[in-house]
Amino acid sequence: MRDVAIIGVAQTKFGELWDSSFRDLVTEAGLGAIQDAQIEGNDLEAMFVGNMSAGLFVQQEHIASLITDNSGLNPVPCTRVEAACASGGLALRSGIMAVASGYHDIVISAGVEKMTDVVDSTGAIATASDQEWEAQQGVTFPSLYAMMARRHMYEYGTTREQLAMVSVINHSNAKHNLNAQYPFDISVEKVLNSSKVADPLRLLDCSPVSDGAAAVILCPAEDAKKYTDTPIYVKASAQSSGTIRLHDRKSLTTIDSSVNASREAFKMANMTPKDIDAVEVHDCFSINGLLAIEDIGFVEKGRGGPAIEEGMTRIDGDIPVNPSGGLKARGHPLGATGIAQAAEIVWQLRGEAGKRQIDGAEVGMTHNIGGTGGTAAVHIFSR
Amino acid sequence: MRDVAIIGVAQTKFGELWDSSFRDLVTEAGLGAIQDAQIEGNDLEAMFVGNMSAGLFVQQEHIASLITDNSGLNPVPCTRVEAACASGGLALRSGIMAVASGYHDIVISAGVEKMTDVVDSTGAIATASDQEWEAQQGVTFPSLYAMMARRHMYEYGTTREQLAMVSVINHSNAKHNLNAQYPFDISVEKVLNSSKVADPLRLLDCSPVSDGAAAVILCPAEDAKKYTDTPIYVKASAQSSGTIRLHDRKSLTTIDSSVNASREAFKMANMTPKDIDAVEVHDCFSINGLLAIEDIGFVEKGRGGPAIEEGMTRIDGDIPVNPSGGLKARGHPLGATGIAQAAEIVWQLRGEAGKRQIDGAEVGMTHNIGGTGGTAAVHIFSR
């Protein structure tokens, strides 16, 4: 098994991008990563693209072919991978395997979603849950995560204010991220006074509907210095499945797939949570930002609320979480998220994150969830 | 790079399976392959599932999680891959890379599609073409392939009867395949008198709308004999992209991705077309069965029609094509097709194909196309 490195990254602006089509976005991200890696398009040997539902969002399947064609990259093989909001994480993992296997040397893993030009984005997103047992019964994602939040408050005394702090910290990081959808501060009070979506979650607890794309270029670790002075090495790539249906869980307050994928990643990298200097977690709703730091093992189960309140996850805290602004404030174009997380960690480890730079970050992690945790992908990277 | 072998295969009946849901079908195929490999479910380390459009067909994305969950296989990682009708071939290739890389030892690659419980299957299938330049203009797949057929007739004198023979030969093989959707003979006359779909193609030139699933179990070649006395070895796994839009092609009668993927596969296996004893090609329409034998290199460009008329592709011919009955007569549940092709070749190479057995088959090939050739996946296997 060959070790793998990242030699180029790029991300489009995330947001309501009315002037950019699906194909525009992914081409922009791909070309950006190619430029960043200082390679040529025809150096690429394979492409992987994470995308949740171009079929429902823009009535386009076979996007792998569309993307290769529109980028002028035929006959390079391209494969779309999908696992709802974890599609990007899995595209990254597929690219890593393609290089590790020896099948390909220089590979691009991208992610893209165009969500704003559609009639029923909530309905499309709901297909990440179990259609027969959840979506058809009228359950949507805010309500599923609301139940997890309510139960966490009941079991551990987590407060509404602690949940709000997840969003507040995300926004305070996003204001230094030019690619973020919401690059401005918000307050706890503002979160608590925003409109109710699914009790106890309010509008500012929820990640937005976003357009965007991101891409990373991978190559064998042994070749990485040929392309860049600052390669970032993949230390672990782990993936785990959990129940797709929330009602089948042993617990509403633990996402087993997060726990399993994180444990496997730490084992693979021969590291512990203490080794991580920066982490991008999947905070599609504020409660998930809180569950993530418990499930990964940064704090004990139930201690997420107080830890966040005490500033542990701030950019100058013990374990800086979501320096990019996270799904809440950077934005959450579903298939792009897992790749954007990796791009942020690469910028952090290269020391290129500007005003949101975490001092001396040497090891970083990404945590990408599909649905309510039916899929989890966890990666660890180092300088 | 580790060599890879197939130690188990299974396929459900293909057809209009009103009593089987999406989840029933894939579970049946997966359990069948596990039994065939004589392993236990918890021996599996990773799963890959090819599926074109559960989102549009059954309003379900995140099928990787659904499948793992419903098979009782959590926390095994599962990844859906998609490239329209080549989704199965890419799921196979992803599984091969996962084993070749050393990331996983025992892996299942499956494919599934449930197409009969939907309002607009033609519209869903059309999302495999370019939505903006083709589908939205009213072009559907029969009409795209009809243009390719008409041009082939014009350029090379290919006859209507020669096209019909593709379907006739497929049906004559399918009648010995219990899993086939149409296990009975048809005649050239019957094809020529069937209703017109898109001139010159008629109903019996077209593969059907089908439900079905298939699965194969992969492991490192060096371990294969632990599980079975008849492992089948993967000699090549190749993939290529071509233009998604038909009107961008240099030629309407050559599918570049087929040519490129086939060439790469022969190079990887260090073989030529003469080494192949059995091939499953992607005959979604009769013309594509004809183009395939030209593009792979079994005959010269333009010679497909006469070769088929002379019996070259019959089960007792020089290069037996589609012993299973092919997409036309075995059926074509889009995401399942690439895996079902591999299952058929495994049965042929094991000598387990019953009345459709090709005598002494030692090397076999599968050829799986997405759209009108935006994606091609070609695999070579040997005893």
Question: Hey, is the C-beta of B79 within 8 angstroms of any chain A C-beta?
Answer: yes
Q: Answer yes or no: do A62 and A153 share one domain.
A: no
- What's the whole-model pTM score? 0.97
Alpha helices for A132-252 (secondary structure H): 141-156, 160-174, 188-193
> To 5 degrees, how large is the angle CA A258–CA A311–CA A88?
30
Alpha-carbon span A229 to A224, nearest angstrom? 8
Instruction: Tell me which of B194, B226, B258 is where a domain ends.
Output: B226
pLDDT, tens digit (0-9, with 9 covering 90-100), for A221-231:
999 999 999 99
- Residue A239 sits in the same domain as residue A364: yes
Find the closest chain A residue to B58 by CA distance.
A131
Instruction: Judge if B191 and B222 occupy the same domain.
Output: no
Cβ B244–A59 below 8 Å, yes or no? no
> How confident is residue A120, by pLDDT bands cut at 50, 70 and 90?
confident
Q: Does B52 lie in the same domain as B168?
A: no
Residues 254-313 of B with CB under 8 A from A: 256-257, 260
Read off the pLDDT band of A293 (50, 70, 90).
Answer: very high
Q: From B167, B197, B226, give the residue that closes a domain.
A: B226
Written as six digits, the tokens of A41 are 């398009």
- Mean pLDDT in residue range A226-250: 97
CA dist., res. A232 & res. A244, Å (int): 33
Selection from A239, A355, A371, A342 nearest residue A9 by Cα: A342
In total, how many domains does chain B have?
2
For residue B311, give the CATH number of its domain. Answer: 3.40.47.10
Domain interval for residue B45: 4-120+210-226
B20 with B160, same domain? no
Q: Closest approach of chain B CAs to the CA of A75, in angstroms?
A: 4
SS3 content of chain B, % helix, strand, coil (to 5): 40, 20, 40
From the list B65, B127, B375, the residue facing A64 with the nearest CB is B375
Average pLDDT value over all residues in chain A: 97
**Domain co-membership, B295 together with B326:** yes
Could you tell me the pLDDT band of residue B15, with boundaries at 50, 70 and 90? very high
Same domain assignment for residues B220 and B322: no
Among the listed residues A104, A332, A367, A379, the single catalytic one is A332
d(CA B195, CA B213): 29
Under DSSP, the state recorded for B181 is S
pLDDT interval class at A1 (50, 70, 90): confident
* Residue B284 structure tokens: 């979604």
Same domain, A188 and A321: yes
Asked whether B15 and B331 are in contact (CB, 8 A), the reply is yes
Instruction: Choose, from B78, B85, B206, B284, the residue flagged as catalytic.
Output: B85
Please report, in angstroms and rounded to a whole number, the separation of the first and last CA atoms in chain A: 20
Q: Is A367 a residue of the active site?
A: no
In a shared domain, residues A201 and A218: no
Chain A residues lying within 8 Å of B78, measured CB to CB = 83, 241, 375
- Residue numbers in A near B75 (CB within 8 A): 240-242, 256-257, 260
- Res A119 pLDDT > 80: no
Are residues B168 and B71 both part of a single domain?
A: no
Q: Are residues B85 and B60 part of one domain?
A: yes
Tell me the average pLDDT of chain B.
97
Neighboring chain B residues of A84 at a CB cutoff of 8 Å? 61-62, 65
Given A157, A191, A226, which residue is the final one in a domain?
A226
Distance between CA B249 and CA B124 in Å, rounded? Answer: 23
DSSP code for B204: G
Residue A341 has pLDDT above 90, yes or no: yes
**Residue A29 contacts B where some CB pair is shorter than 8 Å:** no
* B46 and B33 belong to one structural domain: yes
**Is B332 designated active site?**
yes
